[in-house]
Structure 1
């Protein structure tokens, strides 16, 4: 039944529609409350992050195509220890970005606490810089590292630690972890 009616059914239609609107309104959150569906939080923490863009061109330290077998793309991050296919999001200042782990790295920088490599396009958006597709570098941002918070919402399959990241040199990326970290309390 439509919410507009003519003749004898107008009163019934108006009551029906008012009831439907009221019922729907009861399901809506109060103003200012997000309606975004938040997946379960499996792990949260913070780390220093760098950026990369590996498109197999050999430019700017490019080491080839990502290990997951997908082309380089926005949202594809690298971890020195999490399983490939792990999903989540990061927060930098007031900006949020979803990701999936599609490559290994950073290598040597992870020994100095840089535990996440963000794709250069996302890094540019988060920092207000610009991704230069010729040089594969982020311009307009003076630092190559930022401090981010991370939340894991899904662990990937296969080798890698299902816990806070550890340096590449630890070799966790080649060991299967059947004992993930306990999920944080909500």
Structure 2
């Protein structure tokens, strides 16, 4: 009887130990498989992201390929714009510097007015006089950062051209180049300055009227 009781106890202890070992084994097996499951899960997420965005994405969700296409379009438009500007910019045929005076000849005889402009067009802003250039030659004049484009519509100045004054500017152009202001009247620039030295001139196109192309020459030469 006593021996049987001991056997029962031993059997119970052994069973409990075996059960504990089995539980530990299961737990260990569960822990060992965790990293593998986690790795597989990360692979699945990466694969899904790759399928969803094959070209990569930007912060605002726009695809890199689409963004590159837009950048290319902008670059192409900018290039076309530069070409258009180059076509619009007139070619300078001849340039130099001279001393310029001012005049306003409208045929009224006021303040030494010698009559209507010789070029056949009425006196106006942007009408200049040259001692030698062909009538209707297109000219751009610049002085201290200010620029005006006009045309040759009259002859002059006369005697001063033999002293290096090779352009006669209308009163409005003269005053604007001087200080950006407006003249006191058509016949008076409203300033003590009667000449502007080192005025830059650029011939943009030669006129078909009477006169000589090339560097300006003194009146009558």
* 1:131 matched residue in structure 2: 183
Shift, 1:152, TM fit: 0.5
CA gap of 1:35–1:42, structure 2 versus 1, over 3 A, is closer
Shift of 1:20: 4.5
Equivalent position SS for 1:137: coil
Q: Secondary structure at the match of 1:121?
A: helix
Distance of 2:95 and 2:79 partners within structure 1: 33
What is residue 162 of structure 1 aligned with on the other side?
Answer: 213
CA distance in 1, matches of 2:193, 2:187: 15
For structure 2, which runs of at least 5 residues remain unmatched after alignment? 1-62
Q: Deviations over 1:139-175 (max 9, x none)?
A: 1x321111211110111113312111111131xxxxx
1:111–1:169 contact (8 Å) kept in structure 2: no
Deviation at 1:96, TM superposition (A): 1.0
Q: CA RMSD in A?
A: 2.5
Q: What is the TM-score when the length of structure 2 is the normalising length? A: 0.62
The 1:68–1:158 alpha-carbon spacing in structure 2 relative to 1, beyond 3 Å, is closer
Which of these residues, 100, 107, 115, is aligned with residue 166 of structure 2? 115
User: Which is greater in Rg?
Assistant: 2
Equivalences for residues 136-151 of structure 1 within 5 A = 136-139=187-190, 141-147=191-197, 148-151=199-202
Task: Indicate the SS of the match to 1:111.
Answer: helix
- The Cα shift of 1:27 comes to 3.5
Hey, what's the Cα distance between the residues in 2 that align with 1:104 and 1:158? 12
- Which of 89, 95, 102 is matched with 1:51 structurally? 102
CA–CA separation in structure 2 for the residues paired with 1:57 and 1:40 = 37
1:124-145 CA deviation, whole Å, 9 max, x = no partner? 1111243123x61101x32111
Residues 36 and 23 (structure 1), Cα distance of their counterparts in 2 relative to 1, 3 Å cut: closer
After superposing on structure 2, the runs of 4+ consecutive aligned residues of structure 1 that deviate more than 6 Å are none
- Looking at structure 2, the residues matched to 28 and 107 of structure 1 have their Cα atoms a distance apart, in angstroms, of 45
Bigger helix share = 2
